[in-house]
Structure 1
Amino acid sequence: MPVLKADQIAATPVKPGVQRRVIHLEELMTVVIDFDNGPWSVPEPMHQHVHEQTTYIAAGELIFFCEGEPERRLKAGDLFYVPSNKLHTIQLLSEKARLVDSFNPLRDDLLPK
């Protein structure tokens, strides 16, 4: 289906205060992640994956951490990218946030089971 309507598709809970919606083609995936559990006193643990990633901050404010780069304070309207296999994470500064992640290739671990 080429359309995902947020008010018609149930979000998948990730953990308390975090939920996501996923749409994808064969080689491109977009994930909308909503947070309502901020602000966080510490960042999430660093992680990495083989997928290239871009992220648009649609709402909220955060600190972005990426291996070998200075930490960056970002707000709604900002974007960041993560090259393949780079350690990275975020720390939510606002109560709520919405991130729009794009991945190539698909992240099978985020597909509905």
Structure 2
Amino acid sequence: MLRMALIAVSLAMLTVVSAAQDAPAGIKRTPLQKIAFPEGYSTVMGLAEIAPGASSGSHTHPGIETGYILEGEVLMSVDGQPDQTLKAGDSYLIPAGVVHDVKAIGNGPSKALATYVAEADKPLASPAP
């Protein structure tokens, strides 16, 4: 039973690492952990590092994203909401399926700790149409 659990966790981490490698230029995503919880969902925590002027590009997630800006300053654009400038110490919440984009502004890189609670059978992120 433990062996099966370890195999499942290893496969889940490979999926997260694969998604991290698909990041746009100037974005580095480092998966930190992924658990299968709650039932039918995955909870994923990761570190996003954004080079000055880089943007994630408009995209969606099949679940909520919540995060905390660790360093730098970003412009957060979320459909249906006014753009927000977030700096180190600010937190954010993006509802499931809502198109959004984040861009590092200012002179240095930005870092955010993000947590996703997303449907387990869907890609963690998809480009917006």
C-alpha distance in 2 between matches for 1:21 and 1:45: 18
Matching residue within 26, 36, 53 for 2:36? 26
The count of aligned residue pairs is 98
C-alpha distance in 1 between matches for 2:96 and 2:49: 24
Aligned-pair RMSD on alpha carbons? 2.4
TM value normalised by structure 2:
0.64
Q: Which amino acid aligns with 1:45?
A: G
Which secondary structure does the structure 2 equivalent of 1:86 belong to? coil
Q: Which structure has the larger Rg over C-alpha atoms?
A: 2
Runs of 4+ aligned structure 1 residues displaced above 2 Å come to: 12-18, 105-110
Do structure 1's residue 68 and structure 2's residue 77 form an aligned pair?
no
Matching residue within 53, 64, 67 for 1:39? 53
Asked if structure 1 preserves the Cα contact closer than 8 Å seen for 2:72 and 2:110, the reply is yes
C-alpha distance in 2 between matches for 1:91 and 1:105: 23
Give how far 1:25 is off.
1.1
- For structure 1, the 5+ residue unaligned runs are 2-11
Give how far 1:44 is off.
4.3
TM value normalised by structure 1:
0.72
Matching residue within 64, 72, 92 for 2:104? 92
| Identity across the alignment (%) | 20
Which secondary structure does the structure 2 equivalent of 1:84 belong to? coil
Q: Which amino acid aligns with 1:32?
A: L
